[in-house]
Amino acid sequence: MKDQLIILMEALRLSRREIDKLRSRRQGVETTVAAIERILHEPDVMAAIDNLEPFVPSPSIAPDVEERVREYGHA
């Protein structure tokens, strides 16, 4: 699991580097998205995501709805 976390951290670092290039106007949006897609579709990164995903609960898309349900019994 440690190796998979290291792989994901490296993918995040590389993705941030691509975003920094976009922010500094050294590359466009399409180039940035393509670069990040390449990073995320690397076989090691995909395997790490697939292996770790079951351990991470998905965040609610609408967290305020959950709160209203708890508070009022309905959304």
The whole-number pLDDT of residue 54 equals 81
In the predicted model, is pLDDT for residue 75 greater than 60?
no
DSSP assignment of the chain equals -HHHHHHHHHHHHHHHHHHHHHHTTSS-HHHHHHHHHHHHTSHHHHHHHHHHGGGSPPPPS-HHHHHHHHHHS--
Question: Average pLDDT over the chain, rounded to whole?
Answer: 87
pLDDT by residue (tens digit) across 9-65? 999 999 999 999 999 999 999 999 999 999 999 999 999 999 988 887 766 666 666
- List the chain domain ranges: 2-72
Q: What is the pLDDT of residues 53-72, one digit of tens each?
A: 888 776 666 666 666 666 66
